[in-house]
């Protein structure tokens, strides 16, 4: 339906946080390639439906990044299924997803499902603590990237720095390991310079929290990424 291979920039909106209708309109008309609806805490069906109905007034593609089964609803273009590679618990990598497929497997439209291998690098982020991660070294992260590409053949490897900006040389090293699996970088992008820098290495950059904290600057990241490509 959409050419995901051409996507470079995505905004991530959290169903548990407030944004004005005016801001949602600006985000949707910013030229971003897609919107992800997703978050860690307090993601409810009501919150997801509320955001979806506002975003659907625009033509931008919209994806639900599933954080719990209770908040999944039809109406999205795609569904991202996180698998947390550096969790200590099999639950967050395999079991929770297996339970969902066991329950709903007969009705899943597999064309709409996209798996993401998450490597969570900020030990202070909510998602790191929630999914009971261990902090990878550079060698560990490279190994996860190689597994995503060569063993699991995942469509996406998500280098997650949620709330903090990474060292670009580290992101470059991870990018060098990936050919078919696309590298998504997310974390701490608040300026157009940062967006442009990460866009040199990641296939897709994701901008989340700065939409809530520094919205004017966040909106400028779209153009910065498009100019780099």
User: Which amino acids are annotated as binding site for Mg(2+), given as ranges?
Assistant: 14, 40
Q: Tell me: does residue 156 bind ligand L4TTDIOY (CB under 6 A).
A: no
Q: Which parts of 11-70 interact with ligand L4TTDIOY (CB under 6 A)?
A: 14, 38-41, 65-69
Q: How many CA atoms lie within 13 A of 24 on its CB side?
A: 21
Alpha helices (H) along the chain: 21-28, 45-55, 90, 96-104, 126-130, 138-146, 168-175, 192-199, 210-213, 215-228
B/e letters for 28-40, b = 16+ CB within 10 Å, e = fewer, are bebebbbbbbbbb
Task: Output the smallest distance, CB 146 to ligand L4TTDIOY, in A.
Answer: 21
Q: Of 11, 187, 219, 222, which lies in the binding site for ligand 1GP, with binding defined by CB under 6 A?
A: 187
Nearer to ligand L4TTDIOY, 24 or 80 (CB): 80
- Taking phi over 0 as left and psi of -120 to 50 as alpha, with beta for the rest, 41 belongs to beta
Q: Which parts of 181-210 interact with Mg ion (CB under 5 A)?
A: 208
Q: End-to-end distance of the chain based on CA atoms, in angstroms?
A: 22
Nearer to ligand 1GP, 61 or 208 (CB): 208
Q: Which parts of 122-151 interact with ligand L4TTDIOY (CB under 6 A)?
A: 125-127, 130-131
Angle between helices 45-55 and 21-28 (to 10 degrees): 60
Count of residues of this chain found to bind ligand L4TTDIOY when the rule CB under 6 A is applied: 36
- Residue 206 interacts with which of ligand L4TTDIOY, Mg ion, ligand 1GP, none, CB < 5 to 8 Å by class: ligand 1GP
The DSSP letter of residue 18 is -
Q: How many Å separate Cα 3 from the centre of its chain?
A: 17
Helix (H, G, I), strand (E, B) or coil at 70: helix
Q: Where does this chain bind ligand L4TTDIOY (CB under 6 A)?
A: 14, 38-41, 65-69, 72-74, 79, 81-82, 84, 92, 96-97, 100-101, 104, 107-108, 118, 125-127, 130-131, 160, 162-163, 208-209
Q: Which parts of this chain interact with ligand 1GP (CB under 6 A)?
A: 12, 160, 162-163, 186-189, 206-210
Residue ranges in contact with Mg ion by CB under 5 A: 208
């Amino acid at each position: 339906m959409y050419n995901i291979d051409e996507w470079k920039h995505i905004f991530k909106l959290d169903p548990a946080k407030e944004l004005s209708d005016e801001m949602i309109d600006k985000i949707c008309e910013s030229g971003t390639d897609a919107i992800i609806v997703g978050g860690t805490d307090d993601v409810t069906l009501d919150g997801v439906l509320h955001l979806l109905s506002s975003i659907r007034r625009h033509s931008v593609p919209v994806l639900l990044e599933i954080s719990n089964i209770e908040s999944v609803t039809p109406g999205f273009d795609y569904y991202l299924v996180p698998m947390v590679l550096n969790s200590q618990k099999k639950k967050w990598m395999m079991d929770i997803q297996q339970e969902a497929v066991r329950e709903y497997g007969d009705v899943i439209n597999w064309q709409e499902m996209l798996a993401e291998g998450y490597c969570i690098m900020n030990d202070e982020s909510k998602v790191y603590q929630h999914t009971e991660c261990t902090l990878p070294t550079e060698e560990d992260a490279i190994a996860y990237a190689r597994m995503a590409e060569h063993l699991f053949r995942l469509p996406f490897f998500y280098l997650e720095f949620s709330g903090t900006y990474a060292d670009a040389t580290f992101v470059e090293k991870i990018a060098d390991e990936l050919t078919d699996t696309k590298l998504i970088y997310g974390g701490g992008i608040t300026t157009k310079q940062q967006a442009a820098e990460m866009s040199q290495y990641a296939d897709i950059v994701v901008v989340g929290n700065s939409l809530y904290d520094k919205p004017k600057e966040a909106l400028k990241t779209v153009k910065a990424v498009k100019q780099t490509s």
